[in-house]
């Protein structure tokens, strides 16, 4: 067997599709600067300036959001809904016509499926890593609530928190929140975030004039 036999016709196509996927993910990715705890990640949830992240990243403190899709423009942010029990928070910035993330149904996931994480590990902006779903598990919160979690072998580091876990089609299936055992990433399933949004956002968002 020689080297030329490995250049299968599907390879360039697959590479191109992955590059397009990475570019699309970066457009809906933000960087969150919490001046108390440092840098984390988040995703654009709605085009009118609603951002989803972890509670431990953006649930409190003086916050600013950096929009990669707008040449790293910086916007002050305020917390409009937070649930520390599931480690999720929604922020609002005064911006419009933003590119929201594509959301998938995390209840359709299976062990072994390909997933990607994108965030800012160790300050590397928009850094992409790949892996598979290792288990569909659950965890018990401090208040005794059982919540579903996603475990994967994607490489995560400080700066990935609040960023998306996405499937091979580019749909967000989870929000990365921590690493356990040194090499297993844990994400909050996006259907939990959707339920939180349905409950909290309608009463939390205050209409204001926004600037582009």
- Residue 55's Cβ-count burial label (10 Å; 0-12, 13-18, 19+) is buried
Pick the catalytic residue: 28, 48, 55, 87?
A: 87
Which helix (H) or strand (E) covers residue 189, if one does?
Answer: strand 184-189
Q: Assess whether 48 carries a catalytic annotation.
A: no
Q: Assess whether 134 carries a catalytic annotation.
A: no
59 near 15, Cβ under 8 Å?
A: no
Per DSSP, the three-state class of 149 is: strand
- Residue 10's Cβ-count burial label (10 Å; 0-12, 13-18, 19+) is exposed
Pick the catalytic residue: 55, 120, 161, 191?
A: 161
Pick the catalytic residue: 56, 120, 152, 191?
A: 56
Which helix (H) or strand (E) covers residue 191, if one does?
Answer: helix 190-204
187 near 150, Cβ under 8 Å?
A: yes
Please state, in angstroms and as integers, the Cα–Cα distance from residue 33 to each residue in 22, 101, 180, 210, following that order.
Answer: 22, 20, 24, 21
DSSP, res 94: S
Q: Assess whether 161 carries a catalytic annotation.
A: yes
- Active-site positions? 56, 87, 161
């Amino acid at each position: 067997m020689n080297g030329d036999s490995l250049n299968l016709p599907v390879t360039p196509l697959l590479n191109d599709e992955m590059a397009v996927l990475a570019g699309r993910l970066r457009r809906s990715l933000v960087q969150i600067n919490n001046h108390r705890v440092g840098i984390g990640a988040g995703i654009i949830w709605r085009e009118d300036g609603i951002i989803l992240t972890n509670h431990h990243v953006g649930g409190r403190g003086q916050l600013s959001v950096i929009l990669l899709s707008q040449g790293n423009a910086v916007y002050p942010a305020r917390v409009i809904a937070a649930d520390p029990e599931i480690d999720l928070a929604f922020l609002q910035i005064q911006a419009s016509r933003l590119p929201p993330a594509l959301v998938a149904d995390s209840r359709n996931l299976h062990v072994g499926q390909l997933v990607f994480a994108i965030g800012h590990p160790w300050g590397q902006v928009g850094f992409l890593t790949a892996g598979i779903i290792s288990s569909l598990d659950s965890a018990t919160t401090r208040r005794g609530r059982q919540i579903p979690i996603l475990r994967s072998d994607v490489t995560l580091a400080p700066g990935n928190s609040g960023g998306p876990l996405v499937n091979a089609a580019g749909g967000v299936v989870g929000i990365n929140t921590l690493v356990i055992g040194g090499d297993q990433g844990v994400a909050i399933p996006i259907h939990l975030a959707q339920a939180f949004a349905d409950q909290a956002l309608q009463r939390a968002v205050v209409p204001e004039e926004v600037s582009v």
